Amino acid sequence: MNTATKLSGFALGLAVLFGATYGVGRVADPVAPPAEAPHEATGGHGNDGGSGHGGDNGATAHLPGGLLVSDRGYTLRPVDAPAGQFAFQVTGPDGRAVTAYDVAHDKRMHLIVARRDLSGFRHVHPEMAPDGTWRVDSPLAGPGVWRAFADFTPTGGEPLTLGVDVTVPGALTGRPLPAPATSTTVDGYTVTLTGAPQPGRTAELTLTVSRGGAPVTDLEPYLGAYGHLVALRQGDLAYLHVHPNGEPGDGRTRPGPEVSFSAEVPSAGAYRLYLDFKHGGVVRTAEFTVVAGSPTAPGVPATTGAPTAGTPAATSSPSADAGHGVPGHGHD
């Protein structure tokens, strides 16, 4: 295994990703459980109910969602749009724009965007024209290289998340990933996180919403849930869309203050979590940086979650870790 392929598993950055998108999946395999059953092995990044909304199951079970611009015959294609608008099509196996989509979580199309540095997250819902062109007021809020994720289910097909890079010209400002934290605030709401994601196995993450020191117990359903959680992996923006345990109206799920999720991440390393929740008629997003894997060696997955014998990455000489420890490798 060459150095570039090994490094890609450590979420080092863009230069590696662009050269080795497929390599990410292959490297991740020894970390995640072997895909003995493609529809079960890694398809359930929190989708205990089997909704498969994340597009991370099926034929590409090995690969987290959002890394591919084209998968299973479907391709995400941005199209020219007036200033201030973002537009795209999804073409199908026949090469034509897809016009038939299943509704998932109240919508036929979920468009998530984030800058490559994990800032600027937005989750919006475009409208489709009869020709299959989706349009939305542009969520790309400033210069940078953005990743746009289209999360959808073509009628008759599997759930998919395709991703494409979109550059907004202008002066770039580097934004370091915020430090890991278990509490954050947004618009006067405090959201705390308990639990930590683990590579290759399911972990419960609970987000608790309060305002002014008082628990919020009247969260409003948003897209059929009290919360939507998206996780993006630092370095390649591998995409995980996780739905909460339970849903409004099921007789056991309360509208806050806690929203819990079962999530599984594909590798150790840093992730940015984005929780969308609705209260007072407004959807807000609470963001967290979390590190999956060994707390003593964040971002160095070789020693965690990789019991699989004889994987090339794991059998690298101990000095390999030192070699990875170049300045800027870490995220803390």
Residues of the shown chain interacting with Cu ion in the complex, contacts defined by CB under 5 A: 110
β-sheet bridge partners, residue 163: 149
Kindly state the smallest distance separating residue 107's Cβ from Cu ion, in Å.
5
Q: Which is nearer to Cu ion, 110 or 272 (CB)?
A: 110
Rank residues 7 and 109 by Cβ distance to Cu ion and give the closer one. 109
What is the closest distance, in whole angstroms, from the C-beta atom of residue 210 to Cu ion in the complex? 25
Give the shortest CB-110-to-Cu ion separation in angstroms: 3
C-beta closer to Cu ion: residue 110 or 331: 110
Residue 66 CB, nearest distance to Cu ion (Å)? 14
CB closer to Cu ion, 31 vs 136 = 136
Question: Token pair of 173, please?
Answer: 């400002």
Rounded to the nearest whole angstrom, what is the least distance from the CB of residue 109 to Cu ion in the complex? Answer: 8
Dihedral angle over CA of 167, 172, 174, 178, nearest 10? -60
CA separation for the pair 182, 188 (Å, rounded): 16
Nearer to Cu ion, 20 or 229 (CB): 229
Residue given tokens 């092995």 in the structure block: 41
By beta-carbon distance, which residue lies closest to Cu ion?
A: 110
Decide if 151 contacts 241 (C-beta within 8 A).
Answer: yes
Rounded to whole angstroms, the Cα distance separating 237 from 248 reads 30
Q: How many CB atoms are located within 10 Å of the residue 112 CB?
A: 24
Nearest approach in angstroms of CB 230 to Cu ion is 9
- Shortest distance (Å) from residue 112 CB to Cu ion: 7
Quote the tokens at residue 332: 């803390």
Nearer CB in complex with Cu ion: 195/224: 224
In contact, 214 and 309? CB cutoff 8 Å:
no
Which residue, 192, 281, 266, is CA-closest to 231? 266
Please, which residue, 45 or 110, has the CB nearer to Cu ion?
Answer: 110
Residue 254, CB-side half-sphere exposure with 13 Å CA sphere: 9
DSSP 200-226: TB-EEEEEEEEETTEE----B-BTTBS
DSSP classification of residue 180: P
